[in-house]
Amino acid sequence: DGGITQSPKYLFRKEGQNVTLSCEQNLNHDAMYWYRQDPGQGLRLIYYSQIVNDFQKGDIAEGYSVSREKKESFPLTVTSAQKNPTAFYLCASSSAGGRTEAFFGQGTRLTVV
């Protein structure tokens, strides 16, 4: 049963903490993406990766970091440098970047407490 899995579904972060959001796919896709969505807004690109061990900053990369050590996995770390991290985070993958459809995980809702 192929798909893309994000965990956890809900995450709470204290001030000054780093937290890591998990994203795993078994679709054998090369491209993976992290987006941030704020209420009533569209998607803003944080980072994307075209292949293993390579990733590129998106429009709002400041305060975030990623790694791509395995094709299946693209974790996102929200660092303490991200001053307004409360948002809905979506991970996606595709076989040929923007040339084909993207498959999305169910999202992680991060809240600062």
Partner 1 sequence: SQQGEEDPQALSIQEGENATMNCSYKTSINNLQWYRQNSGRGLVHLILIRSNEREKHSGRLRVTLDTSKKSSSLLITASRAADTASYFCATSPPDSNYQLIWGAGTKLIIKP
Which residues sit at the interface with partner 1, rule CB under 8 A?
6, 31, 35, 40-45, 48, 50, 56, 59, 88, 90, 92, 96-107, 109
82/108 with CB nearer partner 1: 108
82/93 with CB nearer partner 1: 93
Cβ density class 64-99: b for 16+ within 10 Å, e for less: bbbebeebbebbbebeeebeebebebbbbbbeeeee
CB of 49 to partner 1, least distance (A): 9
CB of 98 to partner 1, least distance (A): 3
Provide φ and ψ at 39, rounded to 5°.
-50, 130
In a 13 Å sphere around the CA of 108, the CA atoms on its Cβ side amount to 27
CB 3 within 8 A of CB 26: yes
55/85 with CB nearer partner 1: 55
CB of 13 to partner 1, least distance (A): 19
